[in-house]
Amino acid sequence: MSQKEDACQHKILILKDTLEVIQGKWRLPIIISLIHGNKRFGEIQRDIKDISPKMLSQELKALEINKIITRTLYDSMPVTVEYSITPLGKTMHKLVDEILEWGIRFRKEIIGK
């Protein structure tokens, strides 16, 4: 096996691991929402618009387990919960920007605008 093939296969393995963390319809949208500032449950829902409370709750838990976001409960009245991005989560900012930039380029070339 050549070194070139080996490097390529290694990258594919890392990518497959990484996809397990960011894969899905809602995780990156939630991350974008929280990169733009700490938010409450209802605020994230309003940002993403068509996400159901079930999916939002489920995906927030997964992101918390992976230490990408933090959940903070405030003993105010009524009880409020604030979600925020961790330092690790913040490092996804470049990744997200690259996807967005490519998405805009793709749109221009395919949908032709």
Q: Which residues bind its own copies (CB under 8 A)?
A: 4-5, 7-9, 11-12, 14-19, 21-23, 25, 28-29, 32-33, 36-37, 47-49, 66-67, 88, 91-92, 94-96, 98-107, 109-110
* Residue in 7, 81, 100, 104 binding DNA, rule: CB under 7 A: 81
Cα of first residue to Cα of last residue in the chain, in angstroms, is: 44
Q: How far apart are CA 99 and CA 23, in angstroms?
A: 13
User: Which residue number, 66 or 84, has a Cβ lying nearer to its own copies?
Assistant: 66
CB of 46 vs its own copies, minimal distance in Å: 8
Would strands 39-40 and 80-85 be described as parallel, antiparallel, or unpaired? antiparallel
Element (H, E) at 112: none
CB of 50 vs its own copies, minimal distance in Å: 9
Per DSSP, which regions of 5-49 are E strands? 39-40
CB of 31 vs DNA, minimal distance in Å: 14
49: left (phi over 0), alpha (psi -120 to 50) or beta: left
* Contact yes or no for 94/86 (Cβ under 8 A): no
Residues 32-71, interacting with DNA (CB under 7 A):
40-43, 50-55, 57-58, 61, 71
Binding site for DNA (CB under 7 A): 24-26, 40-43, 50-55, 57-58, 61, 71, 77-81
